[in-house]
A and B are shown apart, each in its own frame.
Chain A
Amino acid sequence: MKESNMDGLQSTATETEQQLEDMAKEMRLANDGLSEQDKGYFCDVRPHRVEPYKGIMESFANWARSQSLWILGFGTGCGAIELRPLMTSRFDMYRYGIQARPTPRQSCVFIIGGYASVKTLKRIVRSYEQMQGPKFVLGLGSCTVNGGMYWDSYNTINRIDQYIPVDVYIAGCMPRPEALLGGFIKLKQMIREGKCEGMNKYIDDFDWYKANQKQIIHDWNMPDYNW
């Protein structure tokens, strides 16, 4: 509406519009000029750090996070066999606030159950990056620590923490469900103390992790950051 006392504002509005139009012409999407198929894969967004709150807000948030750890339902290896007794009525994990969720968007803990082959590692990386922060990783079994009994295999990786940051390792082959619960309790303790900054560590060392991943995963047909 054109009114005398709004004259000044009106002209600013047109200026801003013009500026926006100019910017739009100059600004091109980073995936301009690629083929249709590649446009879909291309994503040049880098993850950005999320600073934790300060003081009592963070303590409260950490307490809340530790009481409701939702795991991602991905049975990556041998470890999946001990997740079934964990989920059922004998070693019930639901009373600890731990639920299994079908999608990475709704989960915050990723249990790497045992060895990871190269094919699985690609999906692990993809699922991990799709999880919302703050997120935690539990390495189950000795294969995540140093390769376990498949240390000389041409298809399994030796150390999972070269590719994604790990918070707690649970030793064993396979660890008992009680050991798993013990691992979860340790994780909760660490979260409450504010020591589980895996997500930020991943973002800080993003290039190093990516370089390691790309060295192993040859068939890289996904964006660098799967958000």
Chain B
Amino acid sequence: MATERQERTMQEVNDSGLVGDRPAGLKFVHVEADQAVAYITRLRDVQGYTHLVFFTAIDYIEDSLFRLTYMVHNYDSRQDMGVQVDIPRQGASMESIHHLWPHAATYQRELKEMFGIDFPGSPGVDDSFILEGWTGISPMRREFDTRQYSEQTYFPRPGRVTHDTAAYMKENLYPSEAETW
């Protein structure tokens, strides 16, 4: 039963390739970077998506882009709309939306610190929000290896042994199932 579901899911993979207990009110839309703010303004003013739920980014390092996701919510139709914008990873920057929602400035501040995406004009965007005295690359970027950084910086206590269960199972219990599923 699970395998049939998987196959169905793989085909519908685009924006809402999901089965199961999905609430009906979620949609994802892909918009170009230069039209994004105008689109969101129209969503807010004309179509009633007045609540900015969150604003975050996904790092697709293999395609060399950041996918920004603005999630807005319409309280009348009870719909969530995820507006996704792709921006290049080098010199990432995007127009600010703090004039639409004041609290967007906080999200933008965090994105600048964590991903390195600049939002020119956003109030306080250069202030450090979460990290203090951080001089390396933005930590949420995928090229930053957190385990290596932790081992080098933070004096790990010797004696930690890893018994990787996955490796054990692959070799000893389910050798035929290794790498296939």
Tell me whether B150 and A158 are in contact (CB under 8 A).
yes
Tell me whether A159 and B157 are in contact (CB under 8 A).
yes
Is A155 part of the contact surface with B, judged by Cβ < 8 Å?
yes
Of the residues A146, A154, A159, contact of B139 by C-beta under 8 Å: A154
Of the residues B132, B146, B153, B156, contact of A146 by C-beta under 8 Å: B156
Is A2 part of the contact surface with B, judged by Cβ < 8 Å?
no
Cα(A151)–Cα(B156), bound, Å:
8
Tell me whether B133 and A219 are in contact (CB under 8 A).
yes
Tell me whether B154 and A147 are in contact (CB under 8 A).
yes
Tell me whether A158 and B132 are in contact (CB under 8 A).
no
A residues 105-129 near B (Cβ < 8 Å) are 118-119, 122
Of the residues A122, A154, A157, A212, contact of B149 by C-beta under 8 Å: A154
Is A132 part of the contact surface with B, judged by Cβ < 8 Å?
no
Interface residues of B (CB under 8 A from A): 131-135, 139, 144, 146-147, 149-151, 153-157, 159-160
Of the residues B131, B146, B156, contact of A158 by C-beta under 8 Å: B156
* Residues of B contacting A203 in the complex (Cβ-Cβ under 8 angstroms): none
List 19 A-B pairs, Cβ < 8 Å: A119-B131, A119-B132, A122-B132, A146-B157, A154-B139, A154-B144, A154-B146, A154-B149, A154-B150, A157-B154, A158-B154, A158-B155, A158-B157, A159-B154, A159-B156, A159-B157, A162-B155, A215-B153, A218-B134
Of the residues A151, A162, A219, contact of B132 by C-beta under 8 Å: A219
Is A152 part of the contact surface with B, judged by Cβ < 8 Å?
yes
Known: A151-B150, A154-B146. A159 touches B155 (CB 8 A): yes
Cα(A204)–Cα(B115), bound, Å:
42
Is A217 part of the contact surface with B, judged by Cβ < 8 Å?
yes
Is A171 part of the contact surface with B, judged by Cβ < 8 Å?
no
CB-CB nearest in chain B for A118: B132
Is A145 part of the contact surface with B, judged by Cβ < 8 Å?
yes
* Residues of A contacting B149 in the complex (Cβ-Cβ under 8 angstroms): 154
Chain B nearest Cβ from A96, distance in angstroms: 30
Cα(A219)–Cα(B149), bound, Å:
18
* Residues of A contacting B154 in the complex (Cβ-Cβ under 8 angstroms): 147, 156-159, 216
Known: A145-B157, A147-B156, A212-B155. A152 touches B132 (CB 8 A): no
Is A153 part of the contact surface with B, judged by Cβ < 8 Å?
yes
* Residues of A contacting B135 in the complex (Cβ-Cβ under 8 angstroms): 218
Cα(A22)–Cα(B151), bound, Å:
55
Chain A nearest Cβ from B23, distance in angstroms: 31
Cα(A217)–Cα(B134), bound, Å:
9
Tell me whether A216 and B156 are in contact (CB under 8 A).
no
Chain A nearest Cβ from B14, distance in angstroms: 34
Cα(A206)–Cα(B104), bound, Å:
45
Cα(A212)–Cα(B132), bound, Å:
17
* Residues of A contacting B150 in the complex (Cβ-Cβ under 8 angstroms): 147, 151-154, 158
Cα(A164)–Cα(B144), bound, Å:
29
Tell me whether A153 and B160 are in contact (CB under 8 A).
no
CB-CB nearest in chain B for A217: B133
Tell me whether A216 and B132 are in contact (CB under 8 A).
no
Tell me whether A218 and B146 are in contact (CB under 8 A).
no
Chain A nearest Cβ from B132, distance in angstroms: 5
CB-CB nearest in chain A for B136: A154
Cα(A122)–Cα(B44), bound, Å:
43
Q: A118, A152, A159 — which one has the most chain B CB atoms within 10 A of its CB? A: A152
CB-CB nearest in chain B for A218: B133
Chain A nearest Cβ from B109, distance in angstroms: 16
